[in-house]
Structure 1
């Protein structure tokens, strides 16, 4: 990569999916773009680790959700990418100190579907409130509700029902062979990126916009900003003039949730679980994890902890989340299960200063904040990222679509200036 230029047409801050998508779309229209990325890699929260365990481990996003309507799934199909499309269902649930029997687990599966139906219906018809307040009664309610935080990043008592209802769900949650992070990097391999180049200040006070970095200042006619709401809330980047109050309120209403992942590399000789099966473990309160077996039809499983409990475990230090999940597996399969696990790896997204969490959720009353966050400022500062995707937040395709939308806004403004 050559040195940092001092001028360009458009600056893109962040080389995650949103930033790469925006940059790719702009470059296709002949716009000169400079992409600035604070990390030492592209892909943002899509990152595949091929050394941690015996199979690719997506430390961030794993799935192409809602594959039926997912533009990245269509792109992957055209590229002949191999997808793993099999669904998962709960096979084991250990809650309140005991293992549920087969009939109870079947009822638990049914309740999970019912729970989401009720949340969506309430979100479409009722005044906004926290998800927890509309959950249907069931013996499994206090355990099943913790799957909300796995999907939303925030706990059921903190997430807006209106935000859940505005998400456009469709059939299909597909894993990408080789890892989703690797797929993203290959998809945008032709987009030049200045790595290890964090932006500390964005100045829109003049006729254009300037981005200040340790490697120099870049001036442009417009800037696409794709950093997380966690980074915006932490004021890692200063703005001159300050962002509008409406933007700041939107950021406050869209806090970063947390989903941490624990890769479990089983010896292939262990055959008590296989692809398509899920085990839930819930002791009391927020202490809950989900383990999904057979990633890529292999012996690698991945456990998930989310919400407040994930924060608690991350604060306890490296290995705490892994140990809780191992306790869960021991409760389900017996203590001998530990000796069949060859390697483990865990994430700590709250501690990552470039994200400060995993993905955004809307607080009750804050679902409209996604649209506010997406609105340009002075036709010079444009916003993209999963947090701005009202119908596909917390997803890779939501980030991708937001980058495409931001690119269109930039192009419209450029065309108007040139008339």
Structure 2
């Protein structure tokens, strides 16, 4: 596109992650003219598959797991020619603590229950760790809870707004862990499927730097000095990424307090491939439930899980989240591998270092994707920021997994958020026409 030449559309969508692609699909079905501006050279956002040259092995570098209750993702997986496959070990399994090796029983709803039990106290501006320190006297239980929270959010508990995390967790409506199934093939197939529906609309390597509200809609300028004008605008990027964009004064006044309420997570994901599932075999011999996961209470934000697909390769995935991920960001890969290997060995023994392959992916401090599974409202942030951002202001709205009314921080949340934003924006545009 030539400099200073402006293209006109009904809707501009910023970001080609799952939220942006879902919103684009909805606009396509509505017959709207639209463009999707993607800052990088690929679609999918935090959905990114690495497939070997001979297609014999693939790794999910980012998002990976679904449940049968995540109906929109299940539908997309099937449309992309795949089926759901059960994650090994999610039935008849146990999650253990790193130190005691004793089983622990935690899920998202334990955090909600813990906060719900603290009745009558206003903690909207208090960090999660202070709330836990005050109300959970048992140090061991407190450490496990803090590490579990940091592992699930990829943000250390000292930075998390307690009221906001209670709200977020209440929106995770699955009755399972949400990790019990995977697609039978690379999730990049889902991205390719969505791309095929919008192939002529996606413009790659067009990072948005400025958004200006005009009398007839919005003018968006990219780093390449391309200009686009739309009657409506969907910002389908994480709130932290949107916060780095310059908005015209009225938009900035409205949105800035809510965008600035978020902090990025950070996570390093390392998947190890083994010939034998020794962590299951030893459990069978000992007549115990198979070890499915480990919460490292001594390393806040670090957790391990059996990520094998039933009937597939034997795999363990270690997630290094929060401050530890940031600390390891700039060290050589060998140092990260050593740290991960030590965590495996300390719980599972020497067999854990006999892996035949591994893959590492890092999600820290990205200007476009954010850091961890999603941005989190920090303890100085506004607890209702997600509610404001997901509703249209004039004919502009935000969409991302953080804002989803259901399944936030999951792929399902991203898809639902994109669909919701498109629906609400179409309603808003219709109202503006009739006024």
Structure 2 length normalisation: TM-score? 0.81
**Which residue of structure 2 aligns with residue 224 of structure 1?**
234
Quickly say closer, same or farther: Cα 1:270–1:345, change in 2 above 3 A: same
Is 1:131 equivalent to 2:131 in the alignment? no
In 2, are the aligned partners of 1:289 and 1:325 still within 8 Å (CA)?
Answer: no
**Aligned 1:7-406 pairs, distance under 5 A:** 7-51=8-52, 55-65=57-67, 67-68=68-69, 70-76=71-77, 81-86=82-87, 87=90, 89-90=93-94, 92-95=96-99, 100=101, 104-105=102-103, 108=104, 110=105, 115-116=110-111, 118-119=113-114, 121-122=116-117, 126-128=121-123, 129-132=126-129, 133-134=131-132, 136=136, 137=138, 139-162=140-163, 163-165=165-167, 166-172=170-176, 173=178, 174-192=181-199, 193-213=202-222, 214=224, 216-233=226-243, 235=244, 237-241=245-249, 243-266=251-274, 268-269=275-276, 271-273=278-280, 277-280=291-294, 282=296, 284=298, 286=300, 288-295=302-309, 297-338=312-353, 340-358=354-372, 359-364=374-379, 366-377=382-393, 379-406=394-421
Quickly say closer, same or farther: Cα 1:124–1:418, change in 2 above 3 A: farther
User: How far is the alpha carbon of 1:276 from its aligned partner?
Assistant: 6.7
Quickly say closer, same or farther: Cα 1:322–1:118, change in 2 above 3 A: farther
In 2, are the aligned partners of 1:54 and 1:265 still within 8 Å (CA)?
Answer: no
Instruction: Between 306-315 and 175-184, report the one with greater CA deviation.
Output: 175-184
* Inter-partner Cα distance in structure 1 for 2:56 and 2:277: 15
In 1, are the aligned partners of 2:389 and 2:398 still within 8 Å (CA)?
Answer: yes
* Inter-partner Cα distance in structure 1 for 2:79 and 2:61: 26
Partner of 2:342, secondary structure, is: helix
* Inter-partner Cα distance in structure 1 for 2:269 and 2:212: 37
User: How far is the alpha carbon of 1:5 from its aligned partner?
Assistant: 7.3
User: How far is the alpha carbon of 1:384 from its aligned partner?
Assistant: 0.9
In 2, are the aligned partners of 1:153 and 1:307 still within 8 Å (CA)?
Answer: yes
User: How far is the alpha carbon of 1:138 from its aligned partner?
Assistant: 6.1
Instruction: Between 141-150 and 400-409, report the one with greater CA deviation.
Output: 141-150
In 2, are the aligned partners of 1:250 and 1:373 still within 8 Å (CA)?
Answer: yes
* Inter-partner Cα distance in structure 2 for 1:349 and 1:291: 18
User: How far is the alpha carbon of 1:385 from its aligned partner?
Assistant: 1.0
Partner of 2:356, secondary structure, is: strand
User: How far is the alpha carbon of 1:15 from its aligned partner?
Assistant: 0.5
* Inter-partner Cα distance in structure 2 for 1:8 and 1:381: 14
**Aligned residues: CA RMSD:** 3.2
* Inter-partner Cα distance in structure 2 for 1:401 and 1:112: 22
User: How far is the alpha carbon of 1:295 from its aligned partner?
Assistant: 4.1
In 2, are the aligned partners of 1:11 and 1:222 still within 8 Å (CA)?
Answer: yes
User: How far is the alpha carbon of 1:393 from its aligned partner?
Assistant: 2.1
Deviations 1:152-177 (A, max 9, x none): 22222332333334323212422112
Quickly say closer, same or farther: Cα 1:22–1:113, change in 2 above 3 A: closer
Partner of 2:158, secondary structure, is: coil
In 2, are the aligned partners of 1:276 and 1:294 still within 8 Å (CA)?
Answer: no
In 2, are the aligned partners of 1:63 and 1:180 still within 8 Å (CA)?
Answer: no
In 1, are the aligned partners of 2:80 and 2:189 still within 8 Å (CA)?
Answer: no
Instruction: Return structure 1 stretches of 4+ with deviation > 6 angstroms.
Output: none
Structure 1 length normalisation: TM-score? 0.84
Partner of 1:349, secondary structure, is: strand
In 2, are the aligned partners of 1:154 and 1:308 still within 8 Å (CA)?
Answer: yes
Deviations 1:188-218 (A, max 9, x none): 4211211122222212134221122316211
